Structure 1
Amino acid sequence: MSTSHPFLSRPVLPLFIDGKWVQARSGETFDCVNPSTGALLTKVARGGAEDIDAAVTAARKAFNGDWRKLKPLDRQNLMHKVLAAIEERFEELALLETLDMGAPIARTSTFRRWIQLAFRFYASQAVQPRGTVFANSVPGEFMSYSLKQPLGVVGAIIPWNGPLITQLWSICPSLATGCTLVLKPAEEAPLSALMMAEILTQAGVPPGVINVVPGPGPTAGSALAAHMDVDRVTFTGSTATGRRIVEASASNLKRVSVELGGKSPDIVFADANLDAAAVGAAMGCFNNTGQVCYAGTRLLVERSIYGTFIEKVAAAGRALRVGDSLDPSTQLGPLASRAQLDRVANYFDVARAEGARFVSGGDRVGGPLANGYFVTPTVLADVHNDMRIAREEVFGPVLAAIPFDTEEEAIRLANDTSYGLAGALWSRDVGRVHRVTSELRVGMAWANCYGVTDPSVPMAGTRSSGYGVKGGPFHIDEYLTAKTVWLNTQ
């Protein structure tokens, strides 16, 4: 498959502000690299605080105009038109995501279905009734009711591990409610957000409704989080950075939602379908080369099956084809950046120093893939829950297997973490499934499956995994503000 892409024909890919391509005020650029090869893809304008301010100004101007007043049916029709435009260029988007962050083309090619589901669900929300009439006991003839109106300007700081999908968690509800948007994609993977802005504008989304400013987190991201004219900021990324985003957002007490790190438990009981659980546990951790916030990276296995089961999981990992992301047969691509490769390699050293046993993996991939950022899927045994490898988020294909003896111990180990994004269990006992899912301190739990999501179903985190809802009708409410009206009818 060709590595050329029509969207990368410019010498420098600019920022997108107020419906126009513009260079960064500083004139600075950064390199965008193909993680499968380490080769330069393009140069991108490096946005800073001044560019963020220009984007927020454009977003506020668009919000104060006719955009927020668009009729519900017109808004729904526009979203259907945008979806049609995305589908027309979907192959370009999928290829760009593969080149930019390394997800295999076999994976990004499946995103069409998810994009359809997202746009159709949020378009349906655009025409839902909003507001409530309240009974009141005030003497006289008073009517009391509430309105739900678009919140305003939304700043979205999106991660590098899946930007094509992640950005839609902000784009779709903004279009459905009448908010305007400033996207700040990560420097490691900014391309799909820039192309998406072009597609939306060509489909009829007015200038200023979507603005895209790639740039460093400490400058562009911090400026967006602290901006006094941003009404809501949403962030997906590490817990440490999330804390700084929350602190910066206090400038004007803007609304915040943060989806942060995870060290999610995947619990396997002896009565489970072990063949299905082994494949599920492997993909629950190794999918997207382990670069998933809710990846099941702590495998808790009932002691009576511990040895045989982790061998099954390791075999499932070895069977996955690691290769160039453009090869249609590749199942696992590279890590998204050189920095992430170094991070994962360091955790291999940490695991060895702590005494973990490598059942499989633990190596960089050499040969024809040596210039890319590839590692082998890794299963670690003889792990205790107090080891760093069991407590810290690696964000790579590294699975730490921990034995347990009783249901109560499994629950205790699962909850013995600072995170709380997701968790899963495998068992044929329906009563046990209900008991354990009820006790897991997570925002999302799976039983006899892993990683199943749908844009119409809410997902959220707890504790150090953040707060705020994505998906489902609750998500729409985060883009609306409620206003109570009292009307004297006399």
Structure 2
Amino acid sequence: MHGNEHGTSPDHQDTLHKKTVHRDAFYVNGRWAPSHGTRQVVVTNPATEEHLGYVTLGDVTDVEAAVDAARRAAPGWARTPVPERAALLRAVAAELTVRHDEIARLETAEIGSPIGLSRRAHAGSPIYFFGSAAHLIEQAEPDRTIPGATVLREPYGVVGAITPWNYPLHQSAAKIAPALAAGNTVVHKPSEVTPLGAYALAEAIDAVGLPPGVFNMVMGDGATVGARIAGHPDVDLVSFTGSTRAGIQVATAAAARAKKVSLELGGKGPAVILPGAALEAAVPQALRSGFLNSGQTCMALTRILVDRARLTEAEAIVRETVAGFVVGDPFAGDTQYGPLVSRAQQESVQAYVRRGQQEGLRLLTGGPDRPPAPGRGYYLPLTVFSDVPHHSALVTEEIFGPVLVIQAYESVQDAVDLANRTPYGLCAGVWGATRSEAVEVAGQIQAGQVFINGAGFNPEVPFGGYKRSGVGREYGRYGLEEFQQIKGLVFDDGGARRAPAGG
């Protein structure tokens, strides 16, 4: 621990108290409207356990108003020329740029993420996504002519965007920006666990002046607001990011209306370090991925696979590397990892660590208790278990905290089998002596995205899961196309050969 340990430094206290707010209105039809609900939730700073404010949650009446506004606005927004849509999206990016530092501090306060990560991901990514969506729709593939027909790409209509608490603005912008670019209107339900950033995003969109009803935001829980959005007959597409359990509930609600669903769900990513790879580089890179955002990252590589002949060497690198990581005040410049988002999340992760101890797993670093330092906060030590069998719950279940496992393999084929031996398939990493060696193994990994030899996040690369990690893709051109449906115009060309009618 460095600096003020787990407490928030005094020069940040005034900033946080100024952020104490009461939010009881939602953005619907181009204006702020009071909530019809009465239930309130307290927003807590996870580093200090101090209250930042509270928000009033909405109910189905609020959803009805938002969907109605989006439905009425949909035809006009779909007809809005692409250059005009793109200009408005760039204006949102510009507004978010002005608010960048404010949003970064706000997200550090409500999530507990280190300020550097907040500047890059929580505040920086939304700027990128809105600007990128404008560029992508301008450069989108034109209508395609094939013999006897023209193929069009059209918006779905009303998109329900349901987003999580771990990267609230990043995930929100990754859905909202391409949905709007494609000509859809949006009803957004952010997470009530980290709600304040969603208001900052809605304020930025409001400042730009999108037509009323094009973007709408209703705060609420999944059981009430989320379920109604997913099952609403006037919502044409639901894009959800969250746990696999909640994603199945969303898909079930949407199935009754046979609507399209895009799901980005859980992960249990393997970091496969092949026998010829340099452990000194690969192991620290895998650890940084696994612990990112205090492990509260769906794409985190939380299982480190090494050949058994080098297990002892890998363990030594793990101990040395983790000992050098800085956990503490998320506003301090040298902090790499902050607290977990809530007491509930802290207790959930502690239960997994204790379960690992009950299973007799070998603990390399960390443990179930808060680090021995003064102050408050939902902190846990960075924890690594080694030589963990494939049937352990710490291997098969998503923990969503700073808990990683090392698995030893006997051969490359064994490594591939272990990598694929979970119900998840979101992300993976492969390190090899050469790129071609890593690529060959990556082709056998059941995951939607594989990082080769320590490559980092690329927002243009399609992102999404295999198996229980979801369906559909986000980011870049592929993310834009998720919000477009295909229409074929068939012409009577007077002489083309026709196949028998069917379907």
TM-score by length of 2: 0.92
Deviations 1:363-393 (A, max 9, x none): 4335666421100111101311111111111
Q: How does 1:71-220 map to 2 (within 5 A)?
A: 71-111=81-121, 113-127=124-138, 128-136=140-148, 144-220=149-225
Provide the residue aligned with 1:34 in structure 2.
45
Question: What is the one-letter code of the residue matched to 1:356?
Answer: L
Q: CA deviation at 1:328?
A: 2.2
Is 2:316 the partner of 1:304? no
Match of 1:261 in 2: 266
State the secondary structure of the residue aligned to 2:62: helix
Secondary structure in structure 2 of the residue aligned to 1:229: coil
* Partner Cα separation in structure 1 for residue 357 and residue 348 of structure 2: 15
Partners of 2:18 and 2:219 in 1: how far apart? 16
Q: Does 2:452 correspond to 1:441? A: no
Q: Which amino acid aligns with 1:86?
A: L
**Within 5 A, what are the aligned runs for 1:352-367?**
352-366=357-371
Q: Find the partner of 2:241 among 236, 242, 263.
A: 236
Q: 1:140 is matched with which residue?
A: none
Q: Would the aligned equivalents of 1:121 and 1:456 in 2 still touch at CA under 8 Å?
A: no
Conserved? CA contact 2:16–2:52, under 8 Å: no
Moved more, 470-479 or 396-405: 470-479
Q: 2:19–2:106: 8 Å Cα contact kept in structure 1? A: no
**Cα distance in structure 1, aligned partners of 2:436 and 2:16:** 53
8 Å CA contact retained: 2:163, 2:242? yes
> What is the SS of the residue equivalent to 2:443?
helix
Q: Does 1:348 align with 2:353?
A: yes
Q: Which amino acid in the other structure matches residue 74 of structure 1?
A: E
RMSD over aligned Cα, in angstroms?
1.8
Out of 466, 485, 488, the position equivalent to 2:489 is 485
Query: Is the counterpart of residue 457 in structure 1 residue 461 in structure 2?
Result: yes
* AA partner of residue 90 (structure 1): H
For residues 110 and 184 of structure 1, the distance between their equivalents in structure 2, rounded to whole angstroms, comes to: 23
CA deviations over 1:293-345 (Å, ceiling 9, x no partner): 01111111111111121221232222111112222221101111111001000
How far apart in 2 are the matches of 1:42 and 1:314?
39
2:57 equivalent to 1:52 = no
Task: For residue 483 of structure 1, report the CA deviation from its aligned partner.
Answer: 1.9
Equivalent position amino acid for 2:263 in 1: V
Once the two structures are overlaid, the 10-residue window that deviates more, 32-41 or 424-433, is 424-433
Report the Cα distance in structure 2 between the residues aligned to 1:174 and 1:243, rounded to whole angstroms: 22
What is the aligned partner in structure 1 of residue 4 from structure 2?
A: none
Q: What secondary structure sits across from 2:301 in the alignment? A: coil
Query: What SS is found at the alignment partner of 1:11?
Result: strand
Q: Would you say 1:67 and 2:71 are equivalent positions?
A: no
SS at match of 1:154: strand
> 1:281 touches 1:313 (CA, 8 Å); kept in 2?
no
Letter in 2 for 1:470: E
Q: Distance in 2 between matches of 1:293 and 1:239?
A: 11
Equivalent residues, number:
481
Aligned amino acid, residue 147 of structure 2: A
Secondary structure of the equivalent of 1:460?
Answer: coil
Equivalences for residues 460-475 of structure 1 within 5 A: 460-475=464-479
Cα distance, 1:445 vs. partner? 0.7
After superposition, what is the alpha-carbon deviation per residue over 1:384-405, rounded to whole angstroms, capped at 9, x for unaligned? Answer: 1111111111000111111112
1:326 aligns to what SS in structure 2? coil
Change (3 A) 1:482 1:314: same
SS in 1 for 2:424: coil
In structure 2, the CA distance between the partners of 1:385 and 1:306, relative to structure 1 (3 Å rule), is: same
Change (3 A) 1:406 1:18: same
Deviations 1:420-478 (A, max 9, x none): 1111111113442132111101111111115x222222112000111101012122222
Percent sequence identity over aligned pairs: 34
Distance 1:404 1:162, change over 3 A: same
**Contact 2:126–2:169 under 8 Å retained in 1:** no
Unaligned runs of 5+ in 2: 1-10, 495-503
Do the aligned partners of residues 168 and 101 (structure 1) sit closer, same or farther apart at CA in structure 2, a change above 3 Å counting?
same
Q: Secondary structure at the match of 1:126?
A: helix
1:6 and 1:231, CA in 2 relative to 1: closer, same or farther beyond 3 A? farther
Kindly tell me: are residues 7 and 39 of structure 1, through their superposed partners in 2, closer, same or farther at Cα, counting changes over 3 Å? closer
Superposition deviation, residue 489 in structure 1: 8.0
Name the SS for the 1:178 alignment partner: coil
Query: Is the contact made by 2:396 and 2:422 (CA closer than 8 Å) also made in structure 1?
Result: yes
Letter in 2 for 1:14: A
Distance in 1 separating the partners of 2:260 and 2:169: 24
SS at match of 1:167: helix
How many Å separate the matches in 1 of 2:34 and 2:198? 16
Q: For the residues of structure 2 that align with 1:18 and 1:431, how far apart are their CA atoms?
A: 53
Q: Does 1:17 align with 2:17?
A: no
Rounded Cα–Cα distance in structure 2 between residues aligned with 1:160 and 1:117: 20
Counterparts of 1:268 and 1:454, CA distance in 2: 21
Q: TM-score, normalised by structure 1?
A: 0.94
The yes-or-no answer on 1:398 pairing with 2:408 is no
